[in-house]
């Protein structure tokens, strides 16, 4: 007996999860259990499988070509005759009907691209592939590293810029301008060039990019992250001479992008870069200096350190022309570069961020001048952090107008419309903490806040549910599988009065 007891104790000591449970460290036990069970990957997929239109279309494993929710559609044959579309539909392996018939036959998704079987998200997906068929393209994109993207700055340095373009041209097998914007360069499909592999794959290209960045000629910025500033410029709110507030600004990619616009055409606008985190704000200050952008321009940035939801009104009484509201979020759109998000994924992260995101957006709406615009963005595709926030902020306030996403902004760039209906999920992990099996249970979905409260979901709040009062289709969703990007959400809101 004593021998057996010792053996059991030894086994427990070797098992960090058992040790954490025995020592009463609930937090560590829960984190270890999540990592061991792979629960986060399964919960993530089961959540998005219940949200049609959020990351893919219902019954459509390939997404592209399905009318109804594509805002910008160049890849799906815009301008083609019906007959040409029909011909293309039969040829195109991305054809919606091919996927549907495969699904109906019970064959699972058509074999489109090899999935990386070693990726834990793919493993979770394969365990229920028949149920989650339509998520396949989404999963496939998320399991690959994010391509490297750079943005050539709009600077008055034609000669140096031409030189840079020439140097980049020497690496044209690895990187090149995207079809919808010649100033955005992305690594070529299939060459596996990403931020972390750049130095290994091509030290020469790395040198060109680093020196171009130090000279202020280019920015290493993700494509998705460029969209709010591009859209604000497109609708005319962000322009030369404008006064801009970037409420959650660090690490500063949008601050610098906006600065280029407000200081163009020999005009000198102003950007206030705010962040609640003092050390992140300090890194931003250094990044602005390191950016290589002219001091004359960077002097136009003022740094502030407030909670964005309580950002003070300007003493002058003059409100902002334009506000960038790139709020803190769960980051599920960044999982191609951040491996730490999915293993711990539960709906509680988004549910608990939602009230802060809403407070920040509401404050932005108070601080923008009549005729000015606010961009609300997240690098999450979870409707709870996206449409749900926009819907709650605008539902009973007719001073603001949600603008239609400008589909002509980047010709040929595929964007998806916002969704008007979503489900609110909860997950009670405590009951699984003593369980060594891989049975991590299920998400609970409720129709209303009242029902959630009746079932003891203390993390619920009323604004998580759709209001039905705002034309949310006008928002923009960026699906990773459309253009090999991260996931992103943007809404542009104009103050009418
Ligand atoms: C998604 S990041 C912003 C990225 C940035 N806009 C860019 O493009 O580089 C969110 C930022 O919000 C900051 N933040 C979190 N809570 C905040 C709050 N209550 N008020 C202001 N900033 C906040 C975080 O420190 C973080 O730097």
Helix (H) or strand (E) holding 134: none
State how far the alpha carbon of 425 is from the alpha carbons of 139, 240, 422, 467, in Å.
Answer: 20, 44, 10, 17
How buried is residue 478: exposed, middle or buried, by Cβ count under 10 Å (0-12/13-18/19+)? buried
Q: What is the predicted pLDDT for the residue at 266?
A: 82
Contact (CB, 8 A) for 470 and 394 = yes
A 10 A CB-CB count for 77 gives 15
Pick the closest to residue 248 from 353, 319, 323, 358 (CA basis): 323
Helix (H) or strand (E) holding 338: none
- From the candidates 56, 263, 329, 379, give the one annotated as an active-site residue: 379
Q: Is 329 annotated in the active site? A: no
Cβ(357) to ligand 1 under 6 A? no
How much is the pLDDT for 187? 94
Candidate from 224, 229, 250, 273 with most ligand 1 atoms within 8 A of CB, to mutate:
250
Residue 83 CA to ligand 1 centre (angstroms) = 49
Which residue's CA is the nearest one to ligand 1's atom 10?
328
Q: CA dist 52 to 58, 86, 257, 377, Å?
A: 6, 26, 33, 20
> Helix, strand or coil for residue 454?
helix
pLDDT at 331: 97
Global confidence as pTM: 0.87
Nearest to 17 by CA among 37, 43, 3: 37
What residues are paired with 377 via a beta bridge? 326, 490
pLDDT at 81: 44
Spatial distance between the Cα atoms of 403 and 473, rounded to a whole number of angstroms = 10
Flag whether the ipTM exceeds 0.90: yes
253 lines ligand 1 (CB under 6 A): yes
Q: Which residues of 445-461 are buried (b: 16+ CB within 10 A; e: fewer)?
A: ebeebeebeeeebeebb
CATH topology for the 224-495 domain: Rossmann fold (3.40.50)
pLDDT (tens, 9 = 90+) of the chain, 497 residues, equals 456 666 555 555 567 667 766 777 777 777 777 877 889 999 999 999 999 999 998 765 443 333 335 655 444 444 444 444 444 443 333 222 222 222 222 223 334 467 888 999 999 999 998 999 999 999 999 999 999 999 999 776 688 999 999 999 999 999 999 999 999 999 998 788 888 899 999 999 999 999 999 988 999 999 999 999 999 999 999 999 999 999 999 999 999 999 999 998 888 899 999 999 999 999 999 988 888 888 888 999 999 999 999 999 999 999 999 999 999 999 999 999 999 999 999 999 999 999 999 999 999 999 999 999 999 999 999 999 999 999 999 999 999 999 999 988 999 999 999 999 999 999 987 655 555 556 778 899 999 999 999 999 999 999 999 999 999 999 999 999 999 999 999 999 999 99
pLDDT of residue 435: 57
List the structure tokens of 141: 């994109």
Which residue's CA lies nearest to atom 19 of ligand 1?
Answer: 307
Residue 87: the pLDDT is 40
Pocket test for ligand 1, best of 245, 272, 276, 288 (most atoms within 8 A of CB): 276
Ligand 1 pocket check for 402: Cβ under 6 Å: no
Is residue 211 classed as helix, strand or coil in its secondary structure? helix
Which pLDDT score, from 0 to 100, does residue 106 have?
A: 28
Contact 460, 351 (CB under 8 A): yes
Distance 248 CA to ligand 1 centre (A): 4
Domain boundaries, the chain: 30-135, 149-219, 224-495
């Amino acid at each position: 007996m004593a021998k057996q007891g010792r053996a059991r104790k030894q086994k427990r000591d070797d098992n960090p999860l058992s040790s954490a449970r025995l020592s009463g460290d609930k937090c560590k036990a829960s984190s270890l259990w999540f990592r061991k069970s792979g629960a986060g990957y399964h919960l993530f997929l089961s959540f998005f499988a219940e949200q049609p239109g959020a990351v893919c279309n219902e019954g459509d494993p390939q997404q592209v070509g399905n009318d109804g929710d594509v805002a910008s559609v160049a890849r799906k044959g815009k301008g083609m005759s019906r007959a040409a579309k029909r011909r293309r539909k039969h040829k195109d392996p991305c054809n919606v009907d091919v996927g549907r018939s495969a699904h109906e036959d019970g064959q699972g998704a058509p074999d489109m691209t090899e999935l990386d079987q070693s990726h834990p998200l793919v493993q979770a997906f394969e365990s229920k592939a028949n149920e989650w068929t339509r998520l396949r393209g989404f999963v496939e994109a998320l399991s690959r590293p994010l391509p490297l993207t750079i943005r050539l700055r709009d600077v008055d340095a034609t000669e140096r810029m031409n030189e840079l373009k020439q140097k980049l041209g020497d690496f044209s097998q690895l990187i090149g301008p995207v079809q919808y914007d010649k100033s955005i360069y992305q690594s070529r499909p299939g060459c596996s060039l990403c931020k972390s592999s750049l130095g290994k794959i091509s030290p020469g290209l790395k040198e060109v990019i680093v020196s171009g960045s130090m000279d202020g000629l280019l920015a290493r910025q993700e494509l998705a992250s460029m969209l709010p500033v591009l859209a604000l410029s497109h609708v005319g709110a962000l322009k030369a001479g404008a006064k801009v507030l970037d409420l959650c600004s660090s690490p500063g990619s949008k601050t610098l992008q906006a600065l280029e616009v407000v200081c163009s055409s020999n005009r000198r606008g102003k950007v206030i870069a705010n962040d609640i985190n003092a050390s992140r704000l300090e890194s931003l200050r250094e990044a602005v200096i390191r950016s290589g952008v002219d001091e004359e321009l960077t002097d136009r940035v003022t740094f502030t350190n407030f909670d964005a939801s309580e950002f003070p009104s300007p003493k002058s009484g003059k409100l902002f022309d334009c506000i960038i509201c790139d709020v803190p979020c769960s980051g599920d759109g960044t999982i191609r570069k951040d491996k730490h998000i999915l293993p711990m994924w539960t709906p509680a992260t988004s549910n608990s961020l939602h009230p802060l995101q809403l407070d920040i957006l509401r404050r932005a709406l108070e601080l923008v001048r009549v005729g000015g615009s606010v961009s609300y963005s997240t690098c999450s595709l979870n409707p709870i952090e996206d449409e749900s926030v926009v819907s709650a902020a605008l539902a009973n306030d007719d001073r603001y107008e949600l603008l239609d996403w400008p589909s002509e902004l980047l010709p040929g760039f595929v964007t998806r419309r916002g969704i008007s209906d979503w489900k609110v999920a909860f997950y009670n992990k405590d009951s699984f903490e003593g369980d060594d099996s891989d049975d991590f249970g299920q998400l609970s979905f409720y129709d209303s806040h009242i029902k959630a409260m009746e079932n003891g979901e203390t993390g619920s709040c009323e604004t998580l549910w759709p209001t039905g009062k705002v034309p949310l289709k006008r928002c923009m969703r960026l699906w990773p599988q459309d253009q090999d990007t991260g996931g992103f959400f943007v809404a542009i809101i104009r103050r009418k009065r």
